[in-house]
A and B are shown apart, each in its own frame.
Chain A
């Protein structure tokens, strides 16, 4: 009870309303871009990217220390995407923050594109890792975090992971390592959307009790509603603030709604890996436009 009240208090005093509203508008634009990209590509993953829009927007437009015009900036924070299939949300955030021209988004998954179906770090400056085969990013993130420690660098490694991915042994090997090596610069964010390809994670191969597992692996665990922009920003700022007060890695369990923002996609695992058809894309964009008006008209 007390914890909840304290959390609410923090949310109140957090980043100003105006910047949250701006981020929400950006998130809305990112969602529209994702729909357009996937429709143009005529293949790809829809549910995961849509559910992770607030988190990626908060990272790229507020939290990360980075310079889109200088992707190799030495002390930049590192964003490692471990579940590479949700890359449309990352590509959209990268384009909208200035890494590359927005019109390039429509080349997603097409021949000769820099926006590969699963990200390739050699193709697109600003991508830290190549991914697609689940769980590999977790170890890479731990390796970068360890290198930062060895070099006495202060940057943070954000490791984005999915819930289905936690069925892979490698995730737990990486977390055991991060805990053992006291990598407090490792911040994991788990997209806890409860879907995978074949169904709901709880039905296919439950990963619960997740929080206790993570704690047993010597991680500090946070939870947040990953689709509430304010809560996302506050939680991330809070985790960063606490970073140097602990020797443990931090993991945020982000409860998200897969397909978030599009009524007919929300919480349906069938949307894991299929793009919208023409009418679906149109309907989705209409819903998002209506939502945009609502954000604009918020006080």
Chain B
């Protein structure tokens, strides 16, 4: 049974589809109206990251930096020092991929109030291929002190997160995706930075996911339920600071954990969760659904998710395997 307090879409098969990048674009547009300090910067990918809506409505607060991601991060830091709330955008492979040093020192070390918001994360980028598929960005951002790292799970949540991070004072990295995916939350579903959501309660295993994998986990949970396996589903949208209490309590109960993310299997959500369990001496069997230390390739997003083992069916398999280990 879905957690009633969260007002999720009851019937997933009836859920609409939208890209998380659209949620970012809408959130930013709304912020433009609400807060005059919000400025948008983009490195020649305005429409792809959906900053075009903000740019059209607030041209005086939109800054095109050209194809120059290092400068993007640095200029954003400068704007932040002078009191602006800069949203700086590109693709995840380039930002934080290319501008990691600027992110580390000009933004994180300096506590610049910059919101680095990047689209086209993960394999679902599709045909552009490996060079454009960020599968390492969670790892390289969550190691940075002072940085909040958010991976919202659907378009509506991304919109809420965009608005929330503008209120939060400090550096944030948020990653989102190109492909349309299920919108399983509603306007009433809460969002709070650092507060993971238990979407569904269960006893046999905890499945912790972020980003577009959360909806896949919900689908998997339905299948598993029918086979008599009861899973607790956690949407862990904030990778850092991670929600210690929610995760620890759940895994203490189920003693089995599976993570699901559109990222390399090391350094990302799985790493964050397992580090936490080790830190708190929580004993549990574990498994994961993630990319097996490989680069991606060209293909449709559906083909790639299948080939790299990131579907609901893969989650079902993994949960069964892990539960057997108990």
Contacts and interface: CB of A to CB of B under 8 A. Distances in A.
Contacts of B68: 167-169, 205
A68 interface: no
A133 B69 CA distance: 11
A111 B303 contact: yes
A196 B44 contact: yes
Contacts of A131: 131
Contacts of B66: 164, 167, 196, 204-205
B47 interface: yes
Interface stretch (B11-19, B90-98, B194-202, B222-230): B90-98
Contacts of B48: 197
A41 B127 contact: yes
A110 B131 contact: no
Given A197-B45, A198-B44, A118 B129 contact: yes
A48 interface: no
A31 B162 CA distance: 43
Would you call the interface of chain A mostly helix, strand, loop, or mixed?
loop
Contacts, number: 87
A44 B284 CA distance: 46
B70 A111 contact: no
Interface string B200-236: 0000000000000000000000000000000000000
Contact of B298 (A117, A196, A197, A204): A117
Between A43, A109, A198, the greatest number of chain B beta carbons within 10 A of the residue's beta carbon is seen for: A198
Contacts of B67: 134-135, 164-165, 167-168, 196, 205
Nearest to B97: A133
A120 B294 CA distance: 14
B64 interface: yes
A220 interface: no
A84 interface: yes
Interface string A117-136: 11010000000001111110
A116 interface: yes
A198 B307 CA distance: 33
A132 B126 CA distance: 14
Interface string B112-148: 0000000000000011111110000000000000000
Nearest to B69: A168
Nearest to A206: B66
Would you call the interface of chain B mostly helix, strand, loop, or mixed?
loop
A132 B304 contact: no
Contacts of B97: 133
Contacts of A15: none
B160 interface: no
Interface string B283-307: 0000000000000011110011001
B44 A164 contact: yes
Given A111-B298, A133-B97, A43 B64 contact: no
Contact of A113 (B42, B44, B298): B298
B55 to A, nearest CB: 9
A43 B129 CA distance: 11
A116 B127 CA distance: 8
Interface residues on A, range: 20 to 34
B131 A44 contact: no
B268 to A, nearest CB: 21
Between A43, A131, A135, A167, the greatest number of chain B beta carbons within 10 A of the residue's beta carbon is seen for: A167
A275 B299 CA distance: 16
A117 B44 contact: no
Between B128, B132, B307, the greatest number of chain A beta carbons within 10 A of the residue's beta carbon is seen for: B128
Interface string A44-66: 10000000000000000000000
Given A109-B298, A198-B46, A120 B129 contact: yes
A274 B29 CA distance: 26
A130 B126 CA distance: 17
Nearest to B94: A133
Contacts of B98: 133
Interface string A21-59: 000000000000000000001011000000000000000
Interface string A208-235: 0000000000000000000000000000
B64 A111 contact: no
B297 A84 contact: no
A41 B70 CA distance: 32
A168 B44 CA distance: 11
21 contacts: A109-B298, A111-B299, A111-B300, A113-B298, A116-B129, A116-B298, A117-B129, A117-B298, A120-B130, A132-B128, A132-B129, A164-B66, A165-B67, A169-B68, A197-B44, A197-B46, A198-B47, A204-B64, A204-B66, A205-B65, A205-B66
Give the 5 A-B residue pairs with the shortest CB-CB distance, closest first: A205-B66, A132-B131, A111-B299, A167-B66, A117-B129
Interface of A: 41, 43-44, 84, 109-113, 116-118, 120, 130-135, 164-165, 167-169, 196-198, 204-205
Given A118-B129, A164-B67, 6 more contacts: A113-B298, A133-B97, A167-B44, A197-B46, A198-B64, A204-B44
